[in-house]
């Protein structure tokens, strides 16, 4: 029947992938999803992760996070407006709460801002040099 929603089977692999993404406090790459989900399902393969993540995006459970020139990362959808921080050393991406007030004032005169995304780069807590007091 054309147009009918596809019923997805609940499998250990799908449950492990979904759980990893639900528990993540940051957007994950396909490789990170694979590595973390393999702890619960050792035989899990990359093709299954790609298929499952694609299905979860299609269902609206996941949102794709685009960072120019890189493979997309994925996070649970519906977390509200937020931005991201990418560590230059470990390459991980983290969520940032909040937003700049009045982003419109950053635009050139006469321009109308309809949406925005802010991406900060630097070193995460794990990679930044420790300060000695």
Quote the CA–CA distance of 95 and 119 in Å, as a whole number. 10
Answer yes or no: do 71 and 25 share one domain. Answer: yes
Answer yes or no: do 33 and 90 share one domain. Answer: no
- Using the predicted structure, report yes or no on whether residue 72 has a pLDDT greater than 70: yes
Note the pLDDT tens digit of each residue in 5-39: 444 556 899 999 999 999 999 999 999 999 999 99
DSSP string computed for 65-94: E--TTS--EEEES---S-EEEEETTT--EE
Quote the CA–CA distance of 90 and 100 in Å, as a whole number. 26
Q: What is the CATH number of the domain that holds 50?
A: 1.10.10.10
- Can you give the C-alpha Rg of the chain in angstroms? 18
> At which residue do the structure tokens 């630097």 appear?
122
Answer yes or no: do 70 and 95 share one domain. Answer: no
Answer yes or no: do 85 and 75 share one domain. Answer: no
Q: Is 36 helix (H, G, I), strand (E, B) or coil?
A: helix
Note the pLDDT tens digit of each residue in 105-129: 899 999 999 988 889 999 999 999 8
Tell me the residue range of the domain where 133 lies.
80-133
Note the pLDDT tens digit of each residue in 39-63: 999 999 999 999 999 999 999 999 9
Answer yes or no: do 51 and 93 share one domain. Answer: no
The count of structural domains within the chain is 2
pTM above 0.75, yes or no: yes
Answer yes or no: do 67 and 50 share one domain. Answer: yes
Which pLDDT score, from 0 to 100, does residue 117 have? Answer: 87
Q: Are 65 and 32 in contact (CB under 8 A)?
A: no
């Amino acid at each position: 029947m054309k147009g009918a929603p596809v019923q997805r089977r609940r499998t250990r692999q799908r449950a492990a992938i979904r759980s990893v993404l639900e528990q993540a406090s940051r957007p994950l790459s396909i490789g990170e999803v694979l590595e973390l989900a393999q702890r619960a399902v050792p035989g899990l393969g990359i093709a299954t992760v790609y298929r499952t993540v694609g299905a979860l995006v299609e269902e609206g459970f996941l949102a794709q996070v685009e960072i120019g020139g890189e493979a997309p990362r994925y996070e649970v959808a519906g977390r509200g407006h937020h931005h991201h921080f990418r560590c230059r050393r470990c390459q991980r991406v983290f969520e940032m709460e909040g937003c700049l007030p009045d982003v419109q004032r950053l635009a050139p005169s006469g321009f109308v801002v309809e949406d925005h995304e802010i991406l900060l780069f630097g070193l995460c807590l794990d990679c930044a040099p420790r300060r000695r007091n």
